[in-house]
Structures are given as structure tokens and as C-alpha cells.
Structure 1
Amino acid sequence: MFSVHLFALALLATAQARYIALQDLKIQPYVIDVANLAQDDFEDALSEHAFESLHPGYLNRVRRQLGSVSTNPDGSANLNLKVPIARGESNVLSAIGSASGIQSANAFRAAGVKPGPGYTAAGGGLALDNINGHGLSVTGQHIPSLGNQATAAGRLGLINTPDHKLGANAFITRTMPNIPNLPNFNTHGGSLDYTFKDKIGGSLGMAHTDLFKKTDYSAMGNLNLFRNPSSSLDLNAGWTKSQSPIPAFNHNWAPQGGLTFTKYF
């Protein structure tokens, strides 16, 4: 029954909203990917003994305790927190928080600019995770140079085994800008993600913002180069494209990628 309800909600909502529409406003927050945390973090919300009895073999995966810190190509950092507040045999309700694009004061001085708030986006919310890879979340965040966003997201775990993971994501984001003459607007979309043995994976995604008549497409791949119980190094690469009748928002396929180092705690 949980899967049926989740599938209906997943058509309306997922946190794959990063860089959507905001690229064209020169704003690039790194939004926490709440839906994908469902698979990675569920085992840490349960005791080791309980999780082994429910899903043996998964404890060999990287364990996230309360959160993680990761780096961006520009030298900034992202902080993600996830704290279980209620749990059952198959579901966990967690409080989540994030701050992305965190810059040090030294980085501002090196760039020759006056220190700002020190981050590109920050927020929090609630996430409901299921042991089979399903998930629901409601989050809000503040972007200093834009305004506020609210996102409802869902994930349906189509395949969830130790070797293969395939998930369908959907999301809807409401952006409430503090920029004069820019109205509130919605962005909705989804993605299909696959991972093999937590080592290599890919994602196909699409998002649409009606205000700009803009549709974003992405085809991304991920390769884990190094992993131990407390850290991970990943190579991300792929292509993105934007279509819009507005010339400034219309971009052909272009490469994107970089290395990400993540520390778990």
C-alpha cells in the first residue's frame, strides 16, 4: 500500500531541483538530494542488528551517521544532516537540514569581494524513508540572492538489491523570489536513476519551468573512485541541455562534471 501511495505522490514531487531555472538567474544553489538519501541512509536510522535481520548484506555499504560534508569544484562545501525522529520496522521519519555553497572568509578575501552570508542555499524539512528504497520529503530553503523555495519530492524504488538500484523520482518546487517584478513560479520534473554495486551509475532527468517556457534535460554519470566507511571520492560527468523560446534560456547540449569528495560523520 505504501508503494501505491508513493507512486501517486512521486508523480507530483523529488529533490532533483538543483540548478533548475536558477542557472539563468546566475544563481546556482546545490540543493540537497533528499530522495536519493532514502536508499543510502535508511540502514543508519536502524540499529545494526535490526537492519541485518531485515535486509542482510546492506551493512557493507558506506554508512552515514548524522550527515556528510562534500566539496564543490569551486572550493565551497555542502553540509547535509539527517536525524531520525521516529521509526518502525520498514519506515523511518527523519528531520533533515542542509547548507550548500559554504564559503570561508578567506575565500571571499581571495576573490576580492566583501563577505556575504557565506552560503548559496540553506534549509530543512522532513523525510519519510522506506526500506525498499521508496521515499517522500517536504523541504524548504532560503537562497540569499533569490528568495525562498518549498519542495515536495518522492522516490519509487523500482529495483533495490545489493547489486542493482533503480529508482524513479519526481518533484515540484515553488520558488518565491525577493527580486522586484519577478513573480512566484513553479518547477516540476523527475528523473530515472540507476546504480550498480554502489560503484557506477547514471541518471536521466527533465525539469520544466512554465514561467520561462523552459525545459532542462540532463544525462549524467557517476563513478566512485574511492570509498571507506568515513569518506568517498566520486567522479561526476555528463551533458545538460535547456530549451526555451527565450534565446537567453536556450542552450544546446553542454558537458558538465567534476570531482566530489564527501566526508561522513
Structure 2
Amino acid sequence: MFGLKLILAAVLVVASARHVPQDHLPYEQGYLLWFDEDGQPMFEHEDLLPEPEVSYQPEHLARSRRQAQGSVTLNSDGGMGLGAKIPLAHNDKNVLSAIGSMDFNNKMQPASKGFGLALDNVNGHGLTVMKENIPGFGDRLSGAGKLNVFHNDNHNVAVTGSLTRNMPSIPNVPNFNTVGGGVDYMYKNKVGASLGMASTPFLDRKDYSAMGNLNLFRSPTTTVDFSGGLKKFETPFMNSGWKPNFVFSLGRSF
């Protein structure tokens, strides 16, 4: 099943890349808080929607962010994710967009769906707010921020943070919070690394991720990326140990 999804994604890449000259178009990186098949909150790095070039030229950034964007991700657990970003309003410094997502498990059954708003700044900063529904669990309201702390023609460093309010529909289970943060680094918009950590006090659980990131293909409208690394979670009763994790992602601007 995963091989079929990978082939379909590759076909989309080839089709979208035909007759398009090569150019630089990096991607935005973020962190998603989600629940595994057992209903446990997880913290995993994903490649999200395409971002403008990190040359930080205001006119180029604003023009790129005014485009509608879409993404497809294929995860090592066999799951698949779809994302969309549609600009609503903008000025010379900021762009406000509507965002949506839908995730599927390894049996192609819906795992979550959500919608929200994203605010992107010309200097690489960003804020998102999203409301999601998770079948069999309940709802989740999350807010995430990204602060670009250093950038030039070769290097880009950003810190991220997130707060999630989990609202289970399960009887006798109260609402609870998950807090996360991380650091992202990219070299020449081609090779990078990410470290992330999340804490869920109600479950006395901590999640960790360490990922390497590689851009495989880039054009003015399309980007293909690979992230690979390790992740684990810890509770007083269980330690998963470090396990391999990888994600392929295709981003497309329209």
C-alpha cells in the first residue's frame, strides 16, 4: 500500500514538473501534535506547505505567499496527509490564509480533519490556529508559532512552539493540554535538521524527534522533500525507544 502511494506521488511530481524551469522554492517546516491508533498523543515532524525562497526579498515573498498551495505527505507508518492553504488578505509584510488538512491511517481511513488560519510574515515568522476532529477521540484546538532567529543566503534557523487543547469525547476523560517546541536548521534551502519535543502532563508523557531534511526537487511551483530520523515517547510505564521515522512530501503552488 505504501509503495502504491509513493508511486502515485511520484507521478504527480513528474506531471507537475514537466516544462517548468528549475528554481529555488524551499518549504516550510512545522510540527504536528496528533494521536496514534491507540489514542496516544504523538509529536512528529512533517513537511508542510511550500514557502517562498529564503533570500528574504519582500516582493518575492509576498508574491509567493499570495498563491494557493497544496501538499501531500506519505509517512513511514503507511499513513497519508493532505493539506491546503488559500490566501485571504495581505499587505507588504503579512499574508493571512485559510488552511485545511486531512490525514489518513495506513488503511486509508480518515484519522483527522481540520481547518484554521495562518499568518505569515515577510521575515519568515508565522502563526497558525487550527481546530481538528479525530474520529473515536474528539476534538483538538491548537496554536503554533514560528520565529525566524537567523537567516542569510546560506543558513536559516527557526524556533517553533505549540500549545494544543485536547478535548476528548470519551466519557470521564477531561480536557488536557500538550505543549511542544523545536529548532529547525536549513543550509542553502537544501539540507537541514530538526529537533522537537512535546510534553503531555495529564498522561505524564514526553515525545521526542530528531530528523534530517533533504530537498529532492524544486521548481517555481513544485517541491519534493524527504525527512528521515528517529522518534520516541516516554511514560512512567513505557519507553518506546528510538524508532525510525521518515516522511516524503510533495508541495505545489497554483
Paired letter, 1:54: P
CA apart distance, 1:29: 8.7
1:59-78 mapped onto 2 (5 Å cutoff): 65-73=67-75, 77-78=80-81
RMSD of the alignment, in Å? 3.6
Q: Distance in 2 between matches of 1:29 and 1:251?
A: 12
How has the CA–CA distance of structure 1 residues 133 and 52 changed in structure 2, closer, same or farther, with 3 Å as cutoff?
Answer: closer
Name the amino acid aligned to 1:207.
A
171, 175, 178: which one pairs with 1:180?
Answer: 171
Contact 1:78-1:99 within 8 A present in 2 as well = yes
- Larger helix share, 1 or 2: 1
The 5 Å alignment of 1:149-188 reads: 149-188=140-179
1:12-44 deviation per Cα after TM superposition (whole angstroms, max 9, x unaligned): xx962334xx2373568999979x75x81599x
Listed one character per residue, the Cα deviations across residues 39-98 of structure 1 (whole Å, up to 9, x for unaligned) are 81599xxxxxxx997356x69xx9883121313146654222222222122111222111
Write the deviation string for residues 234-259 of structure 1: whole angstroms up to 9, x where unpaired. Answer: 22111112221122xx2222221243
Cα distance in structure 2, aligned partners of 1:187 and 1:152 = 11
1:25 corresponding residue in structure 2: 38
TM-superposed deviation, 1:189: 1.3
- Paired with 1:141 and 1:167, the residues of 2 have a C-alpha distance of 25
Of 82, 85, 89 in structure 1, the residue corresponding to residue 92 of structure 2 is 89
- Secondary structure (helix, strand or coil) at the match of 1:17 reads strand
Is 1:158–1:168's contact at 8 Å kept on the other side of the alignment?
yes
Q: Which residue of 2 aligns with 1:256?
A: 245
2:207 to 216, 232, 253: 216
Q: Which moved more, 1:179-188 or 1:65-74?
A: 65-74
Question: Which residue of 2 is the match for residue 7 of structure 1?
Answer: none
Superposed CA offset, 1:85-130 (max 9, x none): 2212211122211122288xxx66xxxxxxxxx4211111112111
For 2:95, give the aligned amino acid.
V
Instruction: Please give the alpha-carbon distance, in whole angstroms, between the structure 2 residues aligned to 1:176 and 1:244.
Output: 21
Q: Would you say the 8 A contact 1:95–1:126 is kept in 2?
A: yes
Tell me which protein shows more strand as a share of its residues.
Answer: 2
Partner SS state of residue 18, structure 1: strand
Check conservation: 2:126, 2:146, Cα contact below 8 A: yes
Aligned residues: 225
Aligned match of 1:235 in 223, 226, 236?
226
Residue identity opposite 1:256 in structure 2? N
Would the alpha carbon gap of residues 212 and 17 (structure 1) be closer, same or farther in structure 2, given more than 3 Å must change?
A: same
* Unaligned 5+ runs, structure 2: 1-28
Residue of structure 1 equivalent to 2:110: 119
- Between the aligned partners of 1:71 and 1:228, the Cα distance in structure 2 is 18
CA distance in 1 between partners of 2:118 and 2:46 (Å): 11
Residue 58 of structure 2 corresponds to: 54
Instruction: Give the TM-score, by structure 2 length.
Output: 0.74
Q: Which amino acid aligns with 1:72?
A: L
